[in-house]
Structure 1
Amino acid sequence: MTPFIDEEDTRKVQTAVIGRAGSDMPVFLPFDPDEFDTFMRGRSREDFYCGILLGGCGKKLTARRYTQKKCHFAHRPPVHCRRTANGESSADHLYIGKALVDWLGRHCGHPSATVTYPDLGTGPGGAIEVRFGKGRLIRVQMGRVPLRTWETDRDRLARKHPRGAHWAYGPDSGLAHNEVDEHGHAIRFSCRTEGGTRKVYVGTQLPGHAVEWTTLSECRLTKDGIVTPTLAAEKPNPTPESPATPVAFPLQAERIAFTGAVEVPGPHADGTRLYEADVQPEGSATTRARIALPHQAPVPPAHLIHTLTGTAHLVPLADTRWLIRAEAATPLPHPADPRWPDLRPPAPPRPGMDEEEMIALFREKLEQIRRARGLINWETLVAHAGAKPSDFTPADRVRLLVAVDTPHTLDEPFLSALVKSAHAAPGPPSFFAEVLAGLGVGEQLTNSQVDRIWRYSTRHRAKKCDLPVPDARVDEAGPEDEQDRKLVAQLRQHLRLVAKGRGQITWKSLLARQGIPHTTISETTRFRLLVEVDSPWNRGKPILSALVKAKGQDGPDKMFGAVLTALGWKPSTAFPSVDVAWPVERDRVYAAAKNWTVPTLAPHHGLTGRTKGMVDVVRRALVQAATRQACVGWNTLAAAVGTDVGLLSDTDRTAILAAVDGHPQAEGLLLSSLVIGPGHTPVPYFDDILRALGRPHGLRPIELGRVRKQEQARAFEAYSRPRTATPKE
């Protein structure tokens, strides 16, 4: 272990919670830099909060790595936190509470146990109260209290929980000795740092004996409370509760989907929310069941189909229904899926249009407001979508406005700044700072900085990216910035791949191949990008944009005529109209593509002489996985190439998968999205693969997960039936 410099700084803390400020999911940051790297794998530095249940301020914390002093969490300035417990034991009450609820649910037949952390006057953590069964309680007294207070609390809880109020004690509670004097033994709880986390131990204190420690999994629950192995040896015939171990069937990840989720009012088991939903396993009929998801997991919208990801178990309930306890649920990109043909999502909650259409409408309306140099009330904006303000929560408003400004280019004014609340005072509305934070640019901004950004965005409403209308001539126009130039190059390269396969592609799919939602691109930007793809142009040169087709038919994209005009194409006797010219231009591209040498989508950077020969084998294995509609781990891929999985570093794996997806026949499919880690978790280097392929990267975890699931769905769709050629649009 590295010797560390002692530090005394209340801004530096060793524990945090994840997901949100009020979360009860604790994390402990290891001191050692090597353990820090393991801890951060698969996590973002934006995940951590100075939790309210830790006595903290609720603000975000940053994980800091050091080699000459302890790694720790640090507050982001300015610091106004009055948290007093910062060390490695400061979240032990959350670890113990979570361990007790898990134990009661998994081993003792009480899946609906709940936990609270009453404040005894010094903040959360003085006690832990876990309620289960019909009026039963386990109280863990963590903090010190006077003997008279303890006696009063025992009488009060015994009256309130006549079926059993079982007491236990933390490492700093001296009351365990009184418990031993009164009942002959005391149950103790303590936590130790092991394997980069805090592990919970249960102790037995007997008269005249030191505390003997074990784990919760070695204990049993009886009518008298927790029975440790030591107590079982002292009293060999304790009466265990029935059932001692509940029936729970493990489920295969991503083989079960659900829709129409409706939240069941709580309280429920610790850290979970309960939903009623239509559930369908692959190859089976639908049924109505309950689904338990972690409290910090996003609420699954009822109008989407979701798959259960990660570890999941099927638990029979007493009333003949089923409960599925799952780690996560991921929405599918489409309203229907052939694997679950009977799932029929209800209509979206917004009248007349889905959310993507609404975002596109908002963006179009705000573009008009910008050109008119005006502002618009939120209430008026939603009315254009046929909705009422009451249809939206404040969180909905922020989410939609973030989507309106996504993606956002540095120094570009924000369209969301043009939205204000009715009857509000002049200046930025209260939600504008939240929108900036959602876009990743306003996390640490002061009020004056938010005000300055708002004024900049509202004063520069006629921004430089005002684009020509489709009938304008843009022979000399060029991409607006480096980001645009890169996107134009990607679109051009992908259309060349489509041409090599003699295919066509919709504008929406073309953008999706670059990881960009089509709703983030306005009509004028769409027009300009297609023009730039074929610029400079001269008569006889193949027009790649002829391969962009209209949705649901073989005809050209609606912009094709305007693009031809902007390039300088003119009607002639042979080709008097766009409709006549389009199939000719399309076939001209196909003919020219025969002689094109299409470069790979990404260089084979990082491949070694040993790993270069593995690329084709891994590609074939992933195609087979996509055909089976399954994800695979590196154990399977390593076996396919005939090597030991331990010999492949993350760098090797990243380089191999980037080369797989950079193959010119891949049609933009990210087969690497099918690769999973232990327990069906995402591989930690998926963002590195996106970077190597020139795709949008540096995404937040939730955005990265969304891209990964969309790419998996595309791969499954592309290989959903036997093929003799490369998948086409």
Structure 2
Amino acid sequence: MDPDDLAVHRRRHPRYSYWCGIHLGGCGRQLADRLCRDGRVCHFAHHPDPDGSRPVCLRTHNGEDSADHLFIKRGVTRWLDKQKLPARAQLRNLGGGPGDALDIHVPGTRQRIRFHLSRGLDFQAWQKADKELGEDVDTVDWVFTHDGPLTREMLGRHGYCLRVRCETDGAERRVHIGAEGMDRRIDWTPLDECTLTPGGLLTPAVETIRLSRPKPKPAGFLLVGGPTFAVSSQEPVTDAPDHLSQDGRYCVLADVKPSESRIVKALLSLPDDIPPPAPGNVFRLTGPVRLLVTEPDTGTGAQWALQGDKFVRLDAHEAQRTGLWSPAPAVVEVPKPSEAPAVPAPEPTAPDPEPVTTAPLVAATELRDAATRIREALLLDASRSATTTWERLARAAGLDLDRLSTADRIELLVKADLIPGRGHPYLSVLVRQPGGGPLPYLPEVLEELGLGRAEHGEALRRWCAQERTRAFARYGSPPCGVPPRLPFPARAAKVREATGTATVAHVRALLIHAKQVLPEVEGAKGRGLRRIVAQAEEWDRKVRVGGSRAGRVNGAPDSRPAQYYADALIRHITWAKERSGKG
């Protein structure tokens, strides 16, 4: 920054060029070194645009800590290399710049570390991110730069919170990991002295805190000062206990933050004469507020319930302080110097997917691939809270609609809904007729999925409407609390005991039920159930692919009919339910 030093530097490096780094939030344009002898400090500056105007750059922070995300990435990678733990490091832009977060994935130990380096993460956004990060690993460690509501939430959950900072050492920034205790004091440790264990990222202070086993502050409601809340779903909870949804009241599911306590999932019982609180806002209960006792399992995941008669909406400043909400970051588009800013075209009210090259269905393998594309298209529609038709769905998945028979369409929807696990919303209810009515063969699809046979009527219409609401809540942007599933308006078809009465559909329905009880069965019976499930799946696969050629399993002749597998599955499922006490 000294004029003489810059002059020496120019003579030593006459061909050097300098650029505004995009990994620091800059615009990527070329910079010039400015030599100042008028008392100002020598500095870098952007070259002016060809028209003489000042270029626009979004980088507003240029202190020594503005590149800490890069130093942390390099420091953590070197630290794991010393422990011979291969890892993948990826910077995340959460709307504020490339240094908002850093994800470290260690596949060998099935662990992830999220360094959250920005402000403005609310509880619901953290809950969604934590679930996504933990899908394919065993443990997720969160390390924060800034103090805020979420660091206090971690203290309430674990008794400590991990923090990170960088300290200047010559031309380097050294990474330090801090352990914040319940007394809010932070013990800092150089990263090289930390260890990654199966239990997570450990510092000497964390080990001391864990050994002392501090008792985190319990989640409790102090019914003074008015708890704040943000609803998870605007739809009323239909299966709430009677004493919560009594005459003249309704219940909604919400994330509630009582005074001086951590955030908990709770049911709110409100009078019918006030409109439901809208998602996307934060409210405060006013007037008398009572803590109610819920049943052991309401199906909503909430362990608490509050009853109030009034609430008020908080302004943006107060809502952000609760940790339940944060403003969306402003996105600024910077045009290139050589291009004039483009005028955005108006968005269509109901955008259709872009056409994809059509490929006719000729084999069962293509049906499986097509089912995956169908599911992806349905997930996209669910994220937009929109239904679809077969015409739009076929274009999105690249299918030849003229070659799709009714049987093909039923199989595609069944395969698309069999991909996820238990409890996920059924996406096949999103497909409607061009006039807006349900598909005429929707009962056949639901029966193939193992739900049973139901006829078209008001009961099935209500069930489908609730399932669409569940899909919009589960896959929407942002996602919100998923309301409970309504009871299906028909019982699953039972297989009669007489030989030869079971069908392929019965076996497929029983396979779904068997997979649901598999985690509850151990020992010899568990191995037996897994064996018969594997054999039935192989038999079903042969039926789908070969039709009449399904009389061979593992290369050997197999004349056993569907009744054989149905009887075997029923015996094992009945035994498993009796042992688990679920009947």
Does TM, normalized by the shorter one, top 0.5?
no
So what's the TM-score if we normalise by structure 2?
Answer: 0.32
So what's the TM-score if we normalise by structure 1?
Answer: 0.26
